C-alpha cells in the first residue's frame, strides 16, 4: 500500500485533523460513486477532503484532495459525471472511466441499472466529451447460469461490441468466480440463481472465440482480463489503474509524472517517456496489475442491486445507506452519511 504524504485539514466542524493526501484517487472499486454519489464526491472535492472508514477495522480516517492529480472512475451508470467533468478541468485533474457495460437485462441480474440502450448512449456521450481512450468498456463479470450459456455471452458481447465500435479501444473482462466470495454465493442461492463456475478449459475456449470475434468484426479492441491468473492467447492482463494511460493523457502534469517516476523529454523528434519505477500496488490481489491509488468508496452503499455483487453484504443495507446519504443533502464527510 502506498504511504501517502500527510497533511492537516480543517474539518466541517472546525476541528483540525491529519489526512493522507493521495495523488491518484480510485472512485471506486467498493461502490458506484459516479452513479449514486457524484454530487457528494464533487462537493467533497470542492471542500477539499472526505472521510473514509476502513472496512476491516472500522477506523475512520481522512483523505485530502490537496495533491490529487488523477482520478479513475468505476461505474455501471456514469451519466451523472457529464454535469461535473468541467469541474475536473478547472482543477487540472485528469481522469478516465472504467465503464462496466454488461447485458444481463433479460435475466434481471442488474435490476438497478438503466436500460442497455441508455447506457450505450451514455458511453458515447462521455467519449464525445472526454475524448477517445478515456472510456474503457468492461464486460465484467462474465457469469454462467442455467439461463446464460457461453454462446449467449458471446452474442451479448458481440451485440454491445458492434454498438461501441469507434467509441472504445479496449474490452476488459473477467470470469465470475463465485466460490471466492461466500456472500456472493449465498446471495445468488437466496435469489434462486443457478450458476456454474468457469472451468479452465471453458475460459480458454471463450477467450479464443472472443479473439476471433474481435478480428472478424474489425473491432480491433485490445482484449484484457481483470485479475485473472490464466494466460490466454491474444488477451493481455489489464491494469485498471494504469500508469500508461495516465502518462498518455497527462504527461504534461509534472507533479503526476514525478509521483509516477516518469521523465518526459521533449525534443525536435517528439516526446520521449522514460519510466523509472514499478508503480504496481502490492496490496491488491495477486493477479491485479493496478498501480497505487487511494480508493475512497465504502462497501454496502451501492443500490444497483446486482445479484452477483461482492461489495454489498445486504441489498437492504445498501439502500438504507444510500437514502441516509440523500437525507444529508450530500453534506456529510462520509459517503454513508454517518
Across 141-159, average pLDDT:
98
Q: pLDDT tens for residues 222-253?
A: 999 999 999 999 999 999 999 999 999 999 99
Strand partners, 9: 17
For the segment 40-66, the average pLDDT, to the nearest whole number, is 94
* Residue 321, Cβ density class (10 Å: 0-12 exposed, 13-18 middle, ≥19 buried): buried
Residue 222 CB partners (closer than 8 Å, separation 6+): 169, 170, 171, 236
Residue 275 pLDDT exceeds 60: yes
Judge whether 323 and 311 are in contact, CB under 8 Å: no
Phi and psi at residue 255, in whole multiples of 5°?
A: -60, -40
Give tens-digit pLDDT for 29-45. Answer: 999 999 999 999 999 99
Q: Would you state the pLDDT for residue 2?
A: 56
DSSP 220-283: -PEEEESS-----TT-EEP-SS-HHHHHHHHTT-HHHHHHHTEEEEEETTEEEEEE-S--B-TT
Statement: residue 174 has pLDDT above 50: yes
Q: What is the pLDDT of residue 297?
A: 96
Mean pLDDT, to the nearest integer, of 257-284? 90
Q: Enter the DSSP assignment of 312.
A: -
pLDDT over threshold 60, residue 56: yes
* 177-202 confidence digits (pLDDT tens): 998 888 899 889 999 999 999 999 99
pLDDT of residue 3: 72
Mean pLDDT along residues 83-104 = 97
φ, ψ dihedrals at 7, nearest 5°: -150, 165
Would you state the cell numbers that stand for residue 280, as one nine-digit string? 504496481
What does the pLDDT read at residue 270? 81
- Those residues whose C-beta lies under 8 Å from the C-beta of residue 312, and which sit 6 or more positions away, are 299, 300, 301, 302, 318
Average pLDDT of the segment spanning 77-91: 97
Q: What is the pLDDT of residues 278-298, one digit of tens each?
A: 999 988 888 899 999 999 999
pLDDT of residue 63: 98
Task: Give the pLDDT band of residue 330 (cuts 50, 70, 90).
Answer: confident
Please determine, for residue 326, whether its predicted confidence score (pLDDT) is greater than 90: no
Q: What is the pLDDT of residue 328?
A: 81
Asked if pLDDT for residue 313 goes beyond 90, the answer is no
Give the three-class secondary structure for 111. Answer: coil
pLDDT at 1: 46
Check pLDDT > 70 for residue 266.
yes
Collapsing DSSP to helix, strand or coil, 191 comes out as coil
Measured between alpha carbons, how far is 37 from 301 in angstroms, rounded to an integer?
10
How many other CB atoms are there within 10 angstroms of residue 192's CB atom?
A: 6
What mean pLDDT is reported for the chain? 95
CA distance 180 to 178: 5
- Which comes out higher in pLDDT, residue 282 or 1? 282
Q: What is the distance, to the nearest Å, from the Cα of residue 111 to the centroid of all Cα atoms in its chain?
A: 19
Amino acid at each position: 500500500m502506498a504511504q501517502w504524504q500527510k497533511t492537516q485539514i480543517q474539518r466541517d466542524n472546525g476541528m483540525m485533523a491529519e489526512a493522507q493526501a493521495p495523488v491518484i484517487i480510485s472512485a471506486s472499486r467498493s461502490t458506484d460513486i459516479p452513479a449514486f454519489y457524484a454530487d457528494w464526491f464533487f462537493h467533497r472535492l470542492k471542500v477539499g477532503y472526505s472521510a473514509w472508514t476502513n472496512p476491516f477495522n472500522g477506523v475512520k480516517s481522512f483523505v485530502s484532495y490537496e495533491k490529487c492529480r488523477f482520478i479513475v472512475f468505476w461505474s455501471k451508470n456514469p451519466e451523472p459525471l457529464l454535469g461535473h467533468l468541467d469541474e475536473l478541468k478547472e482543477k487540472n485533474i485528469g481522469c478516465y472511466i472504467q465503464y462496466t457495460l454488461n447485458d444481463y437485462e433479460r435475466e434481471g441480474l442488474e435490476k438497478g441499472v438503466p436500460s442497455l440502450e441508455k447506457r450505450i448512449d451514455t458511453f458515447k456521450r462521455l467519449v464525445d466529451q472526454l475524448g477517445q481512450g478515456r472510456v474503457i468498456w468492461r464486460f465484467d463479470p462474465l457469469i454462467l447460469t442455467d439461463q446464460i450459456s457461453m454462446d449467449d455471452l458471446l452474442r451479448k458481447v458481440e451485440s454491445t461490441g458492434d454498438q461501441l465500435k469507434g467509441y472504445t479501444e479496449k474490452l476488459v473482462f473477467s470470469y465470475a468466480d463465485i466460490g471466492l466470495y461466500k456472500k456472493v454465493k449465498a446471495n445468488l442461492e437466496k435469489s434462486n440463481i443457478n450458476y456454474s463456475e468457469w472451468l479452465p478449459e471453458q475460459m480458454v475456449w471463450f477467450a479464443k472465440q472472443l479473439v476471433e470475434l474481435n478480428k472478424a468484426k474489425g473491432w480491433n479492441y485490445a482484449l484484457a482480463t481483470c485479475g485473472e491468473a490464466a494466460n490466454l492467447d491474444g488477451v493481455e492482463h489489464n491494469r485498471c489503474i494504469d500508469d500508461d494511460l495516465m502518462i498518455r493523457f497527462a504527461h504534461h502534469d509534472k507533479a503526476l509524472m514525478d509521483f509516477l517516476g516518469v521523465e518526459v523529454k521533449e525534443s525536435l523528434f517528439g516526446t520521449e517517456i522514460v519510466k523509472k519505477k514499478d508503480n504496481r500496488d502490492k496490496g491488491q490481489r495477486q493477479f491485479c496489475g493496478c498501480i497505487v491509488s487511494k480508493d475512497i468508496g465504502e462497501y454496502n452503499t451501492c443500490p444497483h442491486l446486482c445479484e452477483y455483487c461482492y461489495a454489498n453484504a445486504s441489498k437492504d443495507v445498501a439502500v438504507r445507506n444510500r437514502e441516509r446519504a440523500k437525507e444529508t443533502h450530500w453534506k456529510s464527510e462520509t459517503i454513508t452519511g454517518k
